[in-house]
Every structure is written in structure tokens, then in C-alpha cells.
Structure 1
Amino acid sequence: MKKAARRWSLLALALVLLAAGLTGYVLWSGGDSGSKPYQDATRPVAERVADLLGRMTQADKLGQMTQAERASASASDITDFRLGSILSGGGSTPEPNTAQAWADMNDELQRGALATPLGIPILYGSDAVHGHNNVRGATVFPHNIGLGATRDPKLVQDIGRAVAEEVTGTGVDWTFAPCLCVARDDRWGRTYESFGETPDIPAAMTAIITGFQGDKLGGGPTSILATAKHYVGDGGTTGGDDQGNAELTEAQLREIHLPPFKAAVDRGVGSVMVSFSSWNGQKLHGQKYLVTDVLKGELGFTGFVVSDWNAVDQLDGQEGFTADEVATAINAGIDMVMVPEKWQEFLTTLKGEVDNGHVPMARIDDAVRRILTKKFELGLFEHPMTNRAYTDSVGSAEHRALARQAVRASQVLLKNDKGVLPLARGGKVFVAGKNADDLGNQSGGWTITWQGGSGPTTVGTTILDGIREVAGPDTTVTYARDGKGVDRSYRAAIAVVGEKPYAEYEGDRPDGLRLDDEDRQTIANLRAAGIPVIVVLVSGRPLEIASEVPGWNALLAAWLPGTEGAGVADILFGVGAPTGKTPMTWPGAKAHEPINPGDGQPALFPQGFGLGY
């Protein structure tokens, strides 16, 4: 009777704590908290993992290896199927899309995990690739190509720490970042996800992993799991074809594409995501040599390997999971499978392959051991619920100031005839271009939705708003998107042009990278006034502009700056001096794509180029 009464007392206490919002306490279905070795935070992680693994059924283990999309799995599904992870695809958000709603959603799903017999928390993953960019109102930092232009690993580490705070405040504990691809062909739609076209820049920028995770995983209240992606060679596909074929010798693969991943492993990155692409005709998700022998063996990676979105289903080129695909991927070394919608089918298939001996139980145990280790290291068993102390950090003034600093540091001055820049305050300045007053365009893809979108998609400062702020009250700033209405009474005209948002696949440009007709006409309208024309190029990659640059007085590469457009204005008006250097080579002509250092192709601007004031 005493034991039963104690259990009822614990239940009553739990209900009081939940009602009070103290959801950081773990409620173990087995009874006394800490009554089993794996629940004892004072024990070594390896000991806790071994104890928990020994208590798990086959269903528990296979569930840990399965990641479902939030729209396709409920809290009760997590309980019933022992799911180990949930993710948000690009644009998959709670309603309303606020930090508070994210926190509430995550806590609900986590309660489903804690209701399982062993109470194993889930990992929630999201593509926080340039800020917590799925959440409206979050701080959106420059995309990686802009951060690569800063050549500042310390700044990038600080950004990682800020992003981790915002992610933590929404209950997410795993970001699918950083992308460590070495983009070798600018026509590839993911070029902006690359820090640079040579391995030294992405390797240096793995400092962001330390920002995400801390000096060690779980070493602080905002430590989140980082992901080095996409392993390996996705930036080297022929023709810049997304999910294409990297036709490279092993020596080339190791020289160009592997070093950033070695740097990530050396920093203790907790997870690695495998690329959709192929190496010499074989999909990476089936490459046991690269995943198990090289990554886990040679590089010594001790975290877990996760697949990309439904990528296991691409191994045979046919739609629908097959037993052979599942067995091949797991035996190749994939530890967790991202299978957004058909996760029940995957679980059934994987169970069959284990039961018939095609996937050894030792491989399953290795995968689950790796996953559980990271969950213990993160402290999820002790603090599974959202740390609401950081919810208000989402979009905070402090983080926006850091983002503005990053925007300033990322600007690359490519041309400045007769010192037209920086602009003095006072007089009249004309601003034009489709990207001048468009927060969505300047933020690019992977902002609120997968492909991104034009318009006021989130909260921030457009480049035009920044110009008005920085130019000050003594400067008359006139804006017309098409550049019409300008005359010689204006001291200068600023054309903010370039690309509209896109992401992987839809961003491939095999036919070239020219400015569109609207941009060219806008610039022509400004030039007709006979005043200095300054072009600010908002783009996710170098564009083919060699024939047009001679007619421009100044050219500033702004990349995809994110929500803090005032950082661009800071450089235009001399609040800061341009220090950025090109992380990519700019082609002299369309025929010169792809172009990279040392390949003999004539460059408009070489990698590392950047003027100052």
C-alpha cells in the first residue's frame, strides 16, 4: 500500500508541475525518477546507453532509427511506434507560425515520447540554415555564401550561438546545418549554401558548429545538435545538376570535397547528413565505403548519420521503398532515416529485413547506440521540454544587431570608379530595382518556406528601409522600382537588382546566370539620366555580368543578406568600410562556366577579390 500511495503522490506532483508550466521535469512511466541506471545523470553516457539499449525491444530500436515529418506523425504515433525523431520540412510550421506555437508543438510531441515505456525523448530537427528561418519573426542571417565572404570564423561562431538560442527557445534541438559543400559550378541551385568554392573556406567556417553545439555537446542550456551536410561531393556534380553525378576520381573527391567534413568531425559535429547525389554513378546513400569506411572509420566520426528527405527511396530509381533499398542504406551506415510520410511502411520494411537476417542486429544496435549517445549528451533525458527562458530571444534586438554586423562584413565591393562610394549624406539619392524593397528577395530560399518567396514574408528591414535610415533626415531618398522618374537633380542612383528566391532543384540554371530583362531595363533607365549608377547585386551566386559592368560606376555584391538590410546601407554610406572578399570566382562569360581557381578560365573577378575605401 505504501508503494502504491507513493506512486499516486508522484502522479499528483507531476500534474501540479505540468499545470504550473514546469515541464522541464522528466516523468518516467517506470516509477521513481532515476530508478534505473540510464535515468541516472551522474553515470557516464556510455554506461547509460548500454543500460538503455539492453532494455529496448526491437520495436524500440527501429523506432529510434526513424524520422517522420511533423504533419505526418502525431504525439500518439510517437508513443505507439516509438519514433525517435520528428522534423519540419521547409515551410512546415505550426499555426500560428510563432516561437510560442513552436514551443507548444514541440512539448506536445515530446510528451508523446515520454509516454513510451522507456521514456526516450525525441530529437526535433529543422533546417535552421541561416537563422531559425522557418519561424516568422526570427533573425535571418546572410546565407553561407555571404558568410564565406566575411572570412571571419569568429563571427560565424557567434552567429551559430545566436541561432542556437533562437532554436532552443522553440523546443527544436537539432539543426540541419551547416552545409559544407564546396560549390564548383555556380549554375547549381544550392551554390548560396556553400561558404566557398575551395575547401579551405568551408573548413574554416565549421566554427559555426562550435556556435551551435558549444565547446561540447550539451555543455550549455542552448547547445543544439549540428549537422554536417551533404556528405560528400554534392557541390561537384557535372553541370551543377542538383542531386546529380559527381564524376570525380577518389583523389579529387578527397582533395576538394572531403576536407570540410574532416574539419567538422574534428570539431565534434554530432550528426552528418548524406547527399542525394551520386559519386561516379552510385548514390551516396548506398556507398558503404564512403559512409562507413571513410567517415566512421578513417575520419573517426562517432555521431550518427542521417539520410536526406526520402533519399533512401532513390537508390533503385523507382518510387516506393523496397526491402533491398532499406537494407542497402542501413548496411552502408545510415543510422537514422528521414522518411517524412511513409514512415510506417519504412518501419515494416526494416523489421522484415532484420528478421530475415539481411540487416544484422549488430548494425541496428550500432545505429541506435549512436543516436542515444547524442540524446544523452544533449541532456534530453533530464530536460526534454522547451527551455522557455530563450523563447523571447527569437528575433531579439541583440541578434538583429549581430546579423547587421554580418551583413556589413559580407559585402564585397567589386567596382568603385572615381570613388563614387561611399555616398555622402545630404542631397537627393534615387533608389530602384526589384530587390530594393523586398524582404523575401533579399532573404532568398529557405526563408519561411522551402523555396522562399517575394514580399514581406517575415519581419525585418529591407535594403531601401536601411538606406532611408542610414542616409538620415538630410537626404532625400526617392524610390521607383522600374527606375523611371530619375533626373540630373539626383547625386546618384542605386539599383538593387539580382535574383529572386529559389532553393535546391528549382534553382538550377543550366542555361546561364544573366540578369533578367526587368533588371537590365531598370539599370538602363537610371543610366539614361547621366548620373552615377551604383549596382547592388542581391544574388545567391556570381552572375554573368561581364558585358554590363563597364557601364556601371560601382558594383557591390550583397549576396543574400537576410532580414537586416541596413547592413548593406551601412557600406553604401560609409558607416562601415567594405572588407568582404569573393568566396567564388566570377566568370568572364557564360562559356567560362564552371570556373574555379587554377582551371585557366578567364575571370571577371577572381576568388579573394574585394576592394576597400
Structure 2
Amino acid sequence: MSNHLTLRQFAAAIFFVSIPLASIATADEGQELFLAFDVQAKKVVSEMTLEEKVGQMCQPDQAFLKEPSDIGKYFLGSLLSGGGSGPKDKAKYTLEGWTDMVDGYQREALKTRLGIPLLYGVDAVHGHNNIPGAVIFPHNIGLGCTRNSQLVEQISRVTAKEVRATGINWDFAPCVAVPRDERWGRTYEGFSESPDVVKVLGAASTRGLQGGSLSDPLSVAACAKHFIGDGGTAYRSAERDGKLGMDQGDTRCDEETLRRVHLPGYLTTLREGVATVMPSYSSWNGQKCTGRKDLLTDLLKTELGFNGFLISDYNAIDQLAPDPKNPDYKTCIELAINAGIDMVMLTDKYQDYCRMLPELVREGRVPLSRIDDAVIRILRVKYAMGLMDKDRSPLADRTLHDTVGSDPHRAVARQAVRESLVLLKNDHGILPLSKSTQRIHVAGVGGNDLGMQCGGWTTDWQGSMGNHVPGGTTLLDAIKQTVSQDTHVTYSADGSGAENADVGVVVIGEKPYAEFMGDSIELSLDAEQLQTLANMKEANIPLVVVLLSGRPVILGDMLDSSTALIAAWLPGSEGQGVADVLFGDFKPTGKLSFSWPKSVAQLPLNLDDDDAAPLYPFGFGLTYE
């Protein structure tokens, strides 16, 4: 019997005591799966040239691939599609076109001497959000409000199935960040400010993505991200690139806080056998996580027993340059690989990387043992997924195309929308609305805009306004489909024309954004959105405000102007789920996964703050009587 704590014991203890780096147990049973393939992986590695090994450690974005034949030329082991990186011919930016693209790259890999298939990665962070016609689920902040781990697992199973339909076999999810300041533009990618919520739902998402077995053709490799502390970055008071913000910043805390707040989501995903982990762009106490051997090798691999492999974030190793004004890419590679990075995600420098890393080995700056360890880890995962089975094709199963955006999948998303809504205010019991109300006036650009309803990471990286989500239902259309034939539903984007309506439904909020661009100083809605609410208020009718946002925003006059207020977050493609709650087919059950601040001056504000005085506390949520 070991004198060390088991991971399960540590997960329980982590909230009460600080435990030094050297005192945690070895690999959990969830990670032992990968060790079962060591013999096969080591045999393949023994047959590989150095250049073939380095190719397995390289993951270019396909948009930057000079020629498809470069897959064979550089023995590439992986490709990805970053946000919006799909078929270059926009006419082929379809389910079929994406599948053809991925299969084409896979065929190139199979032509190489060893015929090792590609791992192909994508950010399917709320459904297969790159593909027109796929189901778009609520972002994680909304799922955190459901507290429903079975639902989150089911969502991830649907996502995995739609991802596999396109031949893609690796999803850069779940995000197990613990956002601690809503000014961060990635807040909506986290389930909660509470490590307890994150560790449960992160584990559920991993189970859903990887299924009962990684070798299941309907499973994808999951990726816990971004290790570690990305949700704890401090707000910068100095400008960077002309912008204030928190993204890719510095988490300043002691080790006990890092472990207590930011580690639990990794412990539970490791236990579920997560295949890959992505280090963060951000720093811990001034040093980039991507280059920290103490975190990547000593903590994650050695102490916690992670047996899968580490994939760096998009061009993240570039940030390791000792002198940013005179970047030395070769040194960046050296620092990243020696710290424990096994595969490097990059764009146009893949040719340099594949040349420089062998040079570093020959120069004695990167040990060959480190290269072999990285490739063994990568091959372990490929074996576990069945990709190395010569009797099984790694190409897409196109019979799955009929399931993409299917009614059963949309039903899961509709349930997720219903359960994620948080009712913040309901004066005079105005909700639920009657389906036979004589006239309902819907206002706000968000009422008839699927792009705004879905938010960032939808079709492209930052997302965009507009109805570019085929198969989705706007809230306006959902209301029209729900009310009686005798109810007259009118609409204006600016809130005009509401006079003499019985009730107004105002759909306003944040317009789409993603990382970096989403950092916000004030957490306020734009003037256009606020003017819409002011225009509706002039009609002197009861107002139900449906707030679309990726985080709690400062409500200000919105609270007094509304009769009822629902935090709908970024609900995705199935607006009908919002209508289900508005009209009482389902009672609201969502509970806040974040504390809601009264003002920006309160931030950072979290449930464990001794002097917290939020507008709405963590866990708040009304329902109908």
C-alpha cells in the first residue's frame, strides 16, 4: 500500500489543505489505458527516423499547408482546423466539403512509409460549430447553470458523433478553466467560477466525447484545456496591442490557490481517461505555462500520472522567445519540447519546425529520449483510438451525415437551452406568458439573429451577426411557433412600434466575440441595445427582457426597466428552448454558475470571497409558482 494520497483522496482534500508538489499519487486508472499500448508504440518508434518522429510532433493548421503533399514530405502526424479554417473554396464550406477535405488529408498520410493516420483536431466547443447545419449547443457558461452532468455528457456524445461524421477525430474540449473575473473574454467557455461545478461537468464532457471506449468509431479524443490557471489572469492596467484586457495574461497566486481553484477540473478529466491536455497561453506568476517544466512534466505527467500527450495552443510556443523583439524560433522550440510539450500547434512555420527540431537533437539541446517519449505518447493515443488498426479505415463514415443537425440531436440542444436559462426577476408573476395573449411585440436585434444567439466560435473564430446557422430557430420564430393562431406577434429591431401591445419581449445583449477580442473594461451593452430597451419602455407595457450574453453584465437601468428578466446566456441554435420557458411548457430551473456583480468596481467577485455582496449570488435562480 502506498503512503501517498490517491487522486480521489486528493480531489477531496484539495479544498482544505495545501499539498506540496511531491506528495500526490501516481497514475489514476483512467490513464492506465494508454500504458497498455506501450509495447506497440515503442516498436513503431524504434523503426522511425528522427524526421519521422518530429513529423508526429507537428500539427499545422491546414489553412497554412503549402501543399497537401507536405503531409508526406514532413511525415506530419496531425492537422487542425482553427476557427473558420475550412475548405478554401467557400462553395465547399459544407458538410460534404469538410468531409472531402479531411479525408483528402488523411489519404496523404496513409501514403507515407509507415502509413500512420492523422489525428485531426478542431474546436467543437458547443457542438460541431464549424459546420453549416450542425447543432449549436449553449456555451459552457449556460451548461454550468443546468448542474446536469448527464445532460452535459449527452451533449458531448452528440457533438462527438457530428464531429466524426466529417472524419475529424479530435476535439479541443472540454475547457475546464475556472473564470474568476467576468471581464475575461473567454468567460463563457468555462462552466463556472466554482471548481466544484467545473470538475463535475468537465468529467461529464470528457465521458461524452470519448464514450465508453476511445476505439469506438463514434468517439473522439478529448482535450482538457488550458492547463493551468487561465481563468485566474489579472486584469491588465497597461495597454497591450492597444487594448486593455486579461486574455493570455498572468495568474498571480500561490501554489495552494492554483491547486485549490484551478486544478480540480484536470484531476477529474484525467480520471476519465482524457487523451490530451492543452497548456495555456497564460502565465503563472510571470512565466508562460507553455514553457514550464515544473507544471507540464513534474506536476501533470509525473505527479498526476498523465499518460496521454500535451498539445500546445495555437502558435503558443512563439511566446517563449527570451527577447520578443528579436524572436529566436529555434530557442522557442527547444524550451517548449524540453518543458514537456509533445506536439506543437502552429501555422506557417511548420517547415522551420520540422527542420529545426532535428537540428536541436543533433546539437544536444533536446535529448533524443524526450523526442521518443513524446512520440510514444502520441502513438499511445492513436493506438487507443484504433487508428493504428490496419483493418480499419480512418476515413469518415459518411452514413453519419444524416445524423448531423438531426431532430434527435436538436431535441438535446433544446433541453439544454431550457435548463440553462436563469430567471432573475419576475415581478407580478408576469411569466409564464399566455399563449393566447392578443399581441406580443418582440424587440431587439437579438430576437431575430442566430449569430448573436450563438455567440463566438460559431462558423468562424469570433462568430458574427446574421442568420448564418442553417437549421436553427431564432427566438422570434420560436415565439411565433408557440403562441395560438389568434396571437399577433410583431417585431422591430429598435423597439419601435410596440404601442398597444399587451407585452413586450426584448432580446438584447452582447454581440459575438471570442478570446482576446472579448475582453471588456465595462461589461456594458452597447448604446444601440440600451436604446432599444428605452424605446420599448416608452410604450408603457410590461417588458420581459431576454439577455443574451457570455457572462454576467452590468444591468444598470435594465433591471428597473424590466418586469421580468431572464439570463439566456448564448443558447445556440435552438431558440425554441427559450420559448418553452417563456410560455410555461417548462419551469425555469437554471441556477447561476457565476456571482452577478452590481458594478465593475466589485470585480473580481466570487462565491468564496469573504466580503462578497453580489447583485445576485452564485446559485441564484427563480422559478414559477
* TM-score, normalised with respect to structure 1: 0.91
Q: Which residue of 1 aligns with 2:71?
A: 78
Q: Which whole-Å CA distance do the structure 2 matches of 1:224 and 1:585 have between them?
A: 33
**Contact 1:227 1:272 survives alignment (8 Å):** yes
Is the counterpart of residue 346 in structure 1 residue 338 in structure 2? no
Separation in structure 2 between the aligned mates of residue 518 and residue 132 of structure 1, nearest angstrom = 31
SS in 2 for 1:56: coil
Question: 2:489 matched to 1:477?
Answer: yes
Deviation at 1:322, TM superposition (A): 2.4
**CA drift at 1:546:** 4.1
SS at match of 2:100: helix
Match of 1:63 among 21, 40, 55: 55
Q: How does 1:155-304 map to 2 (within 5 A)?
A: 155-206=151-202, 207-218=204-215, 220-239=216-235, 241-304=246-309
User: For residues 369 and 472 of structure 1, do their structure 2 counterparts lie closer, same or farther at Cα, with a shift above 3 Å needed?
Assistant: farther
- Report the residue type matching 2:125 in the other structure: V
How far has the Cα of 1:215 moved from its partner? 2.2
Q: 1:87 aligns with which of 80, 83, 91?
A: 80
In the alignment, is the contact (CA less than 8 A) between 1:182 and 1:236 conserved in 2? yes
2:147 corresponds, among 134, 144, 151, to 151
Structure 1 unaligned segments of length 5 or more: list them. Answer: 1-42
Look up the equivalent residue of 1:46 and give its one-letter code: D
Amino acid at match of 1:472: S
Q: Deviations over 1:247-306 (max 9, x none)?
A: 111111111011101111111000000100001100001110011111111211111000
Whichever residue aligns with residue 148 of structure 1, its letter is: G
Alignment correspondent of 2:558: 548
Query: What secondary structure does 1:423 align onto?
Result: coil
Larger displacement relative to structure 2 (372-381 or 67-76)? 67-76
Deviates more, 1:269-278 or 1:344-353: 344-353
CA deviation after TM superposition for structure 1 residue 323, in Å: 2.2
- Aligned equivalents of 1:341 and 1:202: distance in 2? 35
Show the counterpart of 1:386: 396
Task: Give CA deviations for 1:359-394 in whole Å, capped at 9, x if unaligned.
Answer: 111111110001001111111123311111212221
Q: CA RMSD in A?
A: 1.3
Q: Kindly provide the CA deviation profile for residues 550-569 of structure 1, in whole angstroms up to 9, marking residues without a partner as x.
A: 23110000000111111111
Show the counterpart of 1:493. Answer: 504
Distance in 2 between the 1:503 and 1:397 partners?
A: 28
The question of whether the paired residues in 2 share the 8 Å contact of 1:443 and 1:560 is answered with yes
In the alignment, structure 1 residue 466 sits paired with structure 2 residue 478: yes
CA drift at 1:45: 2.6
1 CA distance for matches of 2:295 and 2:479? 49
Q: In the alignment, what sits opposite 1:3?
A: none
**Structure 1 residue 318: Cα displacement:** 4.4
Which of 451, 461, 470 is equivalent to 1:450? 461
Segment of structure 1 superposing worse, 296-305 or 540-549? 540-549
Structure-2 change in CA distance of 1:319 and 1:89 (3 Å): farther
Once the two structures are TM-superposed, the CA of residue 104 in structure 1 deviates from its matched residue by 1.1
**Offset of residue 47 of structure 1:** 2.5
Read off the aligned partner of 2:305 and give its amino acid letter. G
What SS does structure 1 have at the residue aligned with 2:615? Answer: strand
1:127-167 per-position Cα deviation (integer Å, ceiling 9, x unaligned): 10000001111111000001111100100000000001100
Q: Compute the displacement of 1:397 (Å).
A: 1.3
- 1:573-610 deviation line (CA, Å, top 9, x unaligned): 11111000111111011211221113213211111000
Question: How much does 1:319 deviate?
Answer: 6.8
Letter in 1 for 2:452: N
Q: CA deviation at 1:415?
A: 0.3
8 Å CA contact 1:245–1:277 kept in 2: the answer is yes
Q: Give 2:428's aligned amino acid.
A: K
Q: Which amino acid aligns with 1:535?
A: V
TM alignment of 1:399-410, pairs within 5 A = 399-410=409-420
Tell me, in whole angstroms, the C-alpha distance in 1 between the residues paired with 2:468 and 2:156: 23
> For each residue in 1:110-131, what CA deviation from the matched residue of structure 2 results, as whole angstroms up to 9, or x when unmatched?
1111111111111100010000
Contact 1:75–1:111, Cα closer than 8 Å, also in 2: no
Contact 1:188 1:509 in 2 (8 A): yes
Kept in 2, the 8 Å contact 1:46–1:373? The answer is: yes
How much has 1:530 moved relative to structure 2?
1.7
> In the alignment, what sits opposite 1:608?
619
What do residues 9-29 of structure 1 show as CA deviations (whole Å, max 9, x unaligned)?
A: xxxxxxxxxxxxxxxxxxxxx
Structure 1 residue 44, shift from structure 2 partner: 6.1
Q: Distance in 2 between matches of 1:81 and 1:384?
A: 20
Aligned residues: 568
Between 182-191 and 589-598, report the one with greater CA deviation: 589-598
Q: Which residue of 2 aligns with 1:48?
A: 40
Q: Residue 357 in 1 paired to residue 364 in 2? A: yes
Provide the secondary structure at the position in 1 that maps to 2:519.
coil
The one-letter code matched in structure 1 to 2:441 is F
Instruction: Give the superposition deviation at 1:401.
Output: 1.1
Q: Could you tell me which residue of structure 2 aligns to residue 4 of structure 1?
A: none
- For 2:412 and 2:164, locate their aligned partners in 1 and report how far apart those are by CA, in whole Å: 18
Corresponding letter in the other structure for 1:237: T
SS at 1:436's partner residue?
helix
Match in the other structure for 1:307: 312
Q: Residue in 2 aligned with 1:99?
A: 95
Contact 1:68 / 1:341 at 8 angstroms: preserved in 2?
yes
Identity of aligned pairs, percent? Answer: 51
Quick check: 1:368 aligned with 2:364?
A: no
The answer on whether the counterparts of 1:513 and 1:543 sit within 8 Å (CA) in structure 2 is yes
Query: Distance between the aligned counterparts of 2:106 and 2:326, measured in 1?
Result: 32
Q: Which residue of 2 aligns with 1:133?
A: 129
Distance 1:91 1:368 in 2: 29
| Counterpart secondary structure, 2:414 | helix
Corresponding residue for 1:330?
337
In structure 2, distance between residues paired with 1:468 and 1:320 = 57
CA distance in 2, matches of 1:49, 1:341: 29
Question: Which has the higher mean CA deviation after the structures are superposed, 209-218 or 160-169?
Answer: 209-218
Offset at residue 396 of structure 1 (A): 1.2
SS of the residue corresponding to residue 531 of structure 2 reads helix
What is the CA–CA distance in structure 2 between the aligned matches of 1:383 and 1:181, rounded to whole Å?
35
TM-score, structure 2 normalization: 0.89
**1:547 Cα deviation from its structure 2 partner:** 4.2
- Give the Cα separation in 1 of the matches to 2:232 and 2:161: 33
3-state secondary structure, aligned to 1:365: helix
SS at match of 2:106: helix
Match of 2:520 in 1: 509
**2: CA distance, partners of 1:389 / 1:362:** 43
Does the Cα contact within 8 Å between 1:75 and 1:110 map onto a contact in 2? no
Contact 1:546–1:604 (Cα < 8 Å) also in 2: no
> Given the superposition, is the C-alpha separation of residues 319 and 327 from structure 1 closer, same or farther in structure 2, using an over 3 Å criterion?
same
SS where residue 80 of structure 2 aligns?
A: strand
Matching residue of 2:3: none
> For residues 151 and 484 of structure 2, what CA distance do their matches in structure 1 show?
28
- 2:443 corresponds to which of 403, 428, 432: 432
Structure 2 counterpart of 1:355, one-letter code? R
Distance 1:499 1:248 in 2: 31
3-state DSSP of counterpart to 2:447: coil
Contact 1:273–1:306 under 8 Å retained in 2: yes
- Unmatched tracts of structure 2, length 5 or more: 1-34, 236-244
